Structure formats: structure tokens, C-alpha cells
Amino acid sequence: MSGAGQQREESPSADRLPFASVFESVLRGWAFNARSAVGPCASTDPGAVRLIWLKNIGRDGAIAERDPGADDWRSEVPEHLRLRAGDILLSSVVSGRPKAAVVREVDLPAVAVRSLLVLRPVEPLTADHARLVLAFLRSNVVGSLAVGSLQQHLRLSELKKLELPNDDRALSAALTDLSVAEQRLGGWAAEAGRLANSVFDDRSTGSEGARRRIIEAGQVTRLRSLAAAQLDDPGFIIRTRYPYPIALRWRNVEAQKTAGGQDDEGKEYSAVLEAAETLLGYSALATVALAHEAGISFKAMGTLKRKIAGGIGGPGFGDWKRVLEQIGEAAGVSDLPPEHPLHDLAALLADDEAQEACQSLNIKRNGDAHGRTHVPAVSAAKLDEAHSSLRLLIDRALFLADLQLLEVTQVVWDRHEQSDIVTLRRLMGDHPVVPTERIRYTGPDRIAPILYLADRDQGLHPLGPFLTCEKCAECAARSVFHVDKEQGALLQKSLDHGHSYPYRSDEEDLRAVGLRSAGP
């Protein structure tokens, strides 16, 4: 292991690194004398080196493209000051947030001038890690180190005391997505502005022609705006981005809320309770599957397995609730990587407000199941309370929109590329009929045609046999099932519409994970 690697292991925390373990040196920009004999040269002259000034670096971290005709080329640049690909340029003169950029091969040969610092990495940073370091260097934390009255300058002594962010692929991917979104939305805004400003530019078409051109050319822009506006509606996100069983149940809640007719409150009340149980059931079963994969066990998980393996009745709302309450304290969870989905699932019921909402729904669900509630005559206050509790929990489960439910239908090994060609469906949103995709998978483990959870890093976690997918024997809809029990008989029950029938898959899969007792 390299010296840099050893230093990184000694970092004070998992998400922070000492400055010296990331950058081996900090160089000040070239303070050449513009009046000296070292004059400008042409970009085509032998040994010509471009000067990069603070003004050449944008707030977005982009280094302006080279201008061969500019007076920004010198031939007598000291060799030790010449930039290398991967160097990070940081403004030493700060006004607001600092500027920072990474040097690319296309920017070379070059030298940083005066108001820039050159941070040279101990070893090349990955693109993801460099993105995080740049974001940190542009932050107010670094900007606050600048001192001075007329001009504020960064002090190297204070800069070198900083701890820098460690490599975090999930955070880096989120920053990339934000950057892409910013550029895309900015492009759309600019396009809309150009169209609006050009309405009377072309005199040859006349007012009617201009009108038609703006209406036709602006149609896509208007549709983009309408689609983006829907994302401000949380219900739209749930219907389109949550895992299929939850999204479908939520759509049923919204449909009942707006249906109109006799017994509306009762039907909506039932839809709310069913949606709540599906949300909790899906989350709990995913939790158990992920815990099993990670070799983690806890009391509620064992109780759930024993109930299915040897009990008379199957799991219910209370079992789902206990799984989600206990996973956060289970031994081994804290040792998982920060981006592991179990951390998000453990946070779902982690505070008093969520616990109260879940308990309220649990009581209502039990009352409904045991006939203690006259559903057709449920009060408006009780319905509002149930709806508010569901909404709180489903909003807390927004992370599920990032954890994609995948149905792998076929896996073919490509011996030439040494990878799997995987055929799959993304079961996200409120419709079971979704396009089939093919991807190339090069992960460490072979995969099978079962359900998987894809995490934010696109790692695949098996959900079977805790959750399975097949065409429902009763309604023929593609459905997500879990193992259930009724009077000792083994069943499979749909999370999305509630149909159940005798278990049809291989029971050996259940025995392998403790959901079926050993023996015949």
C-alpha cells in the first residue's frame, strides 16, 4: 500500500481526510513581472505555455477555453510551476465563495498566475472524489478563512488545517444530478426566452406567421414546463417514482378521494389503510431481505420468519412495524457502508412523530380487520386522521423513489465480455406494464431471474423469496407477492391488490432463508 493510502487509513473520521493526505503540496501562482524581458509569445511558438488567470475560472468550475490569439502565452515558464492534469486551482483572492477548478489535459500546457493556488494531489483523485473536493473548496467554510481589509486572501496555514471530504459515490452522483438538472433547466429557460424575444423578429412572415411559429416551436418548451410543475405535487412523485405496489395503492387512495358517490368516506378509509399496510409491508420485507443478505439478524426478523415457517396465521401490520422499529439498533447495521439502503429504511420510523402515525394506523387497521369499525359510516375526522398519518409516512419514505424495484426476467452470460446480459423491468410507478430493458452487468456476484432492489450506486440486492413477482392467478395482472399463512396453509399474497392463493414457487427457496421449516 502506498504512503498516501496509509495516511488515509489514519484519517480522523470515515467521511473526512486530513488535507495533507489528499494534497502533497500547495503552490502559489506565477508572480511574473509583466515588464521584464519575459514577454508574450504566440501559442504556436516552441515551449509556449498558456497563462491561466483567476478571471479564466468560472463559478461552475469550468476553465475558459484557450484562445490562441490572446496575449496569454509565455515561453519562459519555470518547469516546477507548470500545471499537470489533475491539479486543482483555487482562488487565493476571495470575494464571496472561492473559485475552484480541476486542470484537464486539454488545458495544458499551462501555468497558474498570481491570484491562484495550485493544489497538487498525492495521487490522482477519482472523478467522483474530485467533484466532492471541488464542492468543498467552493464552500463558505473555505471562504471564511480569507482575511484582509482591501482584498481578502486565503491563508495557506489555515487551508492546510482543513479536513476534506472522503470519497462518497452516492453524494458525488447526487451532485452530478443537480449539475445536470441545473444545466438542463437553464437551457430550457434560455430557449423559452429566445422564442419569446423573437416573436416579432421575422417581418416576412407577418403577425399570423409569427404567431404560428411561436405556438409550434414553443410546444415542447411548454410541455416541459407543465411536466416539471407536476413534480411540485408530491402525489405525482408517489404515483410515478415509488415502487409499483406502493404507487398503485396511493393511486387508489387518490381515486377514492375524488370519486364522488355514496359511501365515499368508507371506501377512501379502506384505501388509506390498505396503502399504509402495503407501504409498511414492502418496506419491512425489503428490510428483512437486505438484512438476510448482509448476515444481520434481530428479534423482529426472527419472529417474522417463525410466524411464516410454523405459525397458523401470517404476518400483519404489527409485524411490519416491529421490523422497521428494530432494524436501526440491530447489530451490524452501523458497520454497513453509509449508502446502504438499510440506513434509509431504519430512519423511516426513527422519531416520535412517525411512531405515533404508524401506531395510529395500526390501531385503525386492526379495528377494520376485526370488524370494530363500521367502515361505510366512518367519520370525516377519522378519515382525515388516517390520511394525515399515511401522508406523513409516505413522505418519509421518499428515499424509496431512489431504490428501484427491478424484476430480472432473463440472465445470459456473455463469455467474450465476461459479463451478464440482463433483461429486466423497472417496477416503479403505478402501472405494472413497463418497458423491458437490457443492461450489461459486471457486478461481483452472478444474478438470477428474481426481484432485486437497486441502490443509489446501482448495486443489486436480492429480494427473493421474501418478495416475488408473477402474473396473478386471480386477475392476471403482473403483481408483487409475499409469503403468507392462513389456518396453517402456505399462501402467497399480493401487496398491490391483496389477492392470495396457495404458494406456487419452490419451497426450498423458503427453507434456505428460514421461511419454511426443515423437512418434508
- The conformation of residue 428, written as its DSSP 8-state character, comes to B
Cα dihedral 231, 233, 239, 245 sign: positive
Question: Which H or E element spans position 509?
Answer: helix 507-512
- Interval 74-95: pLDDT, tens: 888 888 899 999 999 999 988 7
Report the candidate in 386, 375, 362 with the shortest Cα–Cα distance to residue 272: 386
**Cα-based angle 492, 496, 502 (whole degrees, multiple of 5):** 15
- Distance, CA of 21 to CA of 62 (rounded, Å): 25
Q: Identify whether the C-beta of residue 94 lies closer than 8 Å to the C-beta of residue 133.
A: no
Q: In what order do the strands lie in the sheet with 100-102?
A: 23-28, 116-121, 88-91, 100-102
Alpha-carbon dihedral 32, 34, 35, 40, rounded to 10 degrees: 110
End-to-end CA distance of the chain: 52
DSSP 189-245: HHHHHHHHHTTTT-GGGHHHHHHHHHHHHTHHHHHHHHHHHHTTSHHHHHHHHSBHH
- Residue 378 in contact with residue 387, Cβ under 8 Å? no
Query: Residue with C-alpha cell 416539471?
Result: 228
Q: Residue 374 CB: number of other CB atoms within 10 A?
A: 10
Q: What is the pLDDT of residues 212-267, one digit of tens each?
A: 766 666 677 767 666 666 666 778 899 999 999 999 999 999 998 877 655 567 88
Average pLDDT, the chain: 85
CB atoms inside a 10 Å sphere around CB 34: 7
Cell numbers 515551449 label which residue? Answer: 47
Instruction: State the DSSP string of 68-127.
Output: TTSS-EES---GGGB--TT-EEEESB-SSSPPEEE--GGG-SEEEBSSEEEEEESSPPPH
Let me know: does 434 contact 447? Beta carbons within 8 Å. no
Q: How far apart are CA 90 and CA 100, in angstroms?
A: 4
Residue from 145, 132, 99, 97 nearest 17 by CA: 132
**CA distance linking residue 186 with residue 210, whole number of Å:** 25
CA-CA-CA-CA torsion sign (420, 424, 426, 427): negative
User: How much is the pLDDT for 260?
Assistant: 61
Task: Report pLDDT for 35.
Answer: 53
Residue 485 in contact with residue 437, Cβ under 8 Å? Answer: no
Rounded Cα gap, residues 466 and 510, in angstroms: 8
Burial state string for 55-66 with b = 16 or more CB within 10 A and e = fewer than 16: ebbeeebebeeb
In angstroms, what CA-CA distances link 356 with 253, 273, 361, 363, 388? 21, 15, 9, 11, 11
Looking at residue 146, its pLDDT comes to 85
The torsion angles phi and psi of 483, rounded to 5 degrees, stand at: -75, 140
Contact of 294 with 345, CB cutoff 8 Å: no
How many helices (H) and strands (E) in the chain? 17, 18
Q: Report DSSP letters for 399-419, one per residue.
A: GGGTSEEEEEEEEEEETTTTE
Burial class of residue 190 in the structure, from the number of CB atoms within 10 Å of its CB (0-12 exposed, 13-18 middle, 19+ buried): exposed
pLDDT attached to residue 377: 62
Rounded to an integer, what distance in angstroms lies between the CA atom of residue 197 and that of residue 195? 6
DSSP β-ladder status, 460-462 and 451-454: antiparallel
Q: What is the pLDDT of residue 10?
A: 40
Nearest in space to 513 (alpha carbons), one of 469, 463, 479: 463
Q: Model pTM greater than 0.95?
A: no
Q: One digit per residue, pLDDT tens: the chain, 520 residues?
A: 333 333 333 434 557 899 999 999 999 888 776 555 466 788 888 888 999 999 999 888 889 887 766 678 888 888 889 999 999 999 998 877 899 999 999 999 999 998 899 999 999 998 889 988 998 999 888 988 888 766 788 888 889 999 998 887 777 777 777 777 777 777 777 777 777 666 666 655 555 666 676 666 667 776 766 666 666 677 889 999 999 999 999 999 999 887 765 556 788 899 999 999 999 999 999 999 999 999 999 999 999 999 998 878 889 999 999 999 999 999 999 999 888 999 999 999 999 999 999 999 999 988 766 555 555 667 888 899 999 999 999 999 999 999 999 999 999 998 888 888 999 999 999 998 899 999 888 877 888 999 999 998 778 999 999 999 999 999 999 999 999 998 889 999 999 999 999 998 888 999 999 998 765 5
* SS3 state at 450: coil
| CB-CB contact of 225 with 232 (8 Å) | no
